[in-house]
């Protein structure tokens, strides 16, 4: 056989293959040891860095400044025109037109003759796989908002409302308490203030070129919305452990994408040593976030037991949201999407897990 291929069965008895549950348990043990070692190594390096920094500071602050200053500028992303030999377009209006021509059929799929799939039909087909589990949603407080803001990156881009994370952190507790009252009202009535329901789409290169569909659209929303969604995401992660498939690896405690890749590598190596064949199927969702029917997803989340207030606020954001593309620092024309969930919203991966768990 070709080099690296599995040899044909020899007819001789081979050692029994451990069960998948045993393999997962062994893998979890190895991961725990690795994490403990990584933590010790991290602590050692932090202590080493601190000693080095203190020594440099004692000699003069110039060297410390040289280490810590930000030398990276945000790259300007230009759009290539597929109808003009993929030549870069230098006009803001031209780039906006190119982007809408490419993305409107995806983000506004149901804006014309095609109708959004019926949620009732979806539930008739998949409802028997739903495990209804009520999600516990605690009242928000100013202290919770502040703790969530501290977890968010201070350099995270501002939304169109102009508020940055560092600005919100400067607010006194009394103002954050008023913000909490506003967020509770949003969950109660299902309506966001207009400026909180405005955002822009940054195009992130994936290394595949500068064509409009070869970049990832990342929605940048208000930091107020992101703080709210982050808090509710923390509660949703606890909730999803009640219904997530035990072998689902994505956005779960101790069950990340790296764990899935490591487990797969372990299984491949095990079967190679045992001279057993091992196979599987890989599927990739094209424009996964952008093509999801919102009505079906929200109905599924309601049936699964997501908090009514959280669901009401999310549905309102999708209904009210107006976005535009951002190109070389300029904004294009605003539009409303008819489908898709937001790349950049903390709750979106929970929604993806909802769908994949039902399908699994």
Task: Output the pTM of the full model.
Answer: 0.77
End-to-end CA distance of the chain: 35
pLDDT of residue 4: 46
**How confident is the model over 161-187, as a mean pLDDT?**
95
From the list 217, 211, 208, the residue with the least C-alpha distance to 289 is 217
DSSP state of 335: B
Structure tokens at 168: 């919100």
Confidence of residue 145 (pLDDT cuts 50, 70, 90): very high
Structure tokens at 40: 């010790």
Q: Is the pLDDT of residue 1 over 50?
A: no
Neighbours of 247 (CB within 10 A): 12
| Sheet containing 198-205: order of strands | 215-220, 198-205, 322-327, 330-331
**How confident is the model over 201-220, as a mean pLDDT?**
89
The predicted-structure confidence for 25-63, as pLDDT tens digits, reads as follows 887 888 888 888 888 999 999 999 888 888 888 887 777
Q: Is the pLDDT of residue 101 over 90?
A: yes
State the average pLDDT for the chain.
Answer: 88
Q: What is the C-alpha separation between 360 and 356, in angstroms, rounded?
A: 6
- Cα 50 from chain centre: 33
Confidence of residue 298 (pLDDT cuts 50, 70, 90): very high
């Amino acid at each position: 056989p070709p080099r690296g291929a599995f040899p044909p069965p020899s007819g001789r008895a081979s050692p029994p293959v451990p069960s998948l549950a045993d393999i997962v348990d062994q893998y979890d043990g190895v991961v725990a040891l690795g994490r403990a070692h990584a933590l010790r190594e991290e602590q050692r390096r932090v202590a080493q860095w601190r000693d080095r920094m203190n020594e440099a500071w004692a000699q003069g602050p110039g060297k410390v400044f040289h280490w810590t200053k930000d030398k990276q500028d945000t790259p300007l992303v230009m759009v290539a025109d597929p109808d003009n030999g993929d030549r870069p377009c230098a006009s803001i209006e031209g780039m906006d037109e190119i982007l809408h021509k490419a993305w409107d059929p995806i983000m506004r799929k149901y804006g014309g003759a095609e109708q959004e799939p019926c949620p009732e039909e979806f539930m008739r087909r998949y409802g028997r796989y739903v495990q209804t589990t009520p999600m516990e949603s605690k009242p928000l407080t100013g202290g919770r908002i502040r703790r969530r803001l501290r977890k968010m990156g201070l350099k995270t881009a501002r939304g169109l409302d102009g508020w940055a994370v560092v600005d919100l952190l400067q607010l006194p507790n009394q103002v954050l308490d008023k913000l909490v009252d506003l967020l509770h009202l949003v969950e109660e009535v299902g309506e966001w203030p207009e400026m909180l329901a405005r955002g822009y789409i940054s195009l992130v290169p994936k290394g595949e070129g500068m064509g409009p569909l070869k970049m990832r659209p990342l929605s940048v929303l208000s930091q107020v919305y992101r703080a709210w969604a982050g808090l509710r995401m923390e509660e949703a992660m606890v909730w999803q452990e009640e219904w997530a498939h035990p072998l689902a690896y994505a956005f779960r405690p101790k069950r990340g994408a790296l764990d899935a890749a490591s487990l797969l590598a372990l299984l491949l190596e095990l079967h190679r040593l045992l001279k057993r064949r091992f196979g599987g199927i890989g599927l990739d969702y094209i424009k996964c976030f952008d093509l999801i029917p919102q009505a079906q997803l929200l109905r599924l989340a309601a049936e699964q037991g997501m908090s009514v207030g959280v669901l009401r606020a999310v549905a309102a954001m999708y209904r009210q949201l107006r976005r535009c593309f951002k190109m070389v620092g300029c904004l294009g024309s605003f539009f409303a999407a008819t489908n898709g969930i937001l790349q950049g919203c903390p709750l979106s991966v929970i929604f993806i897990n909802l769908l994949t768990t039902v399908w699994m």
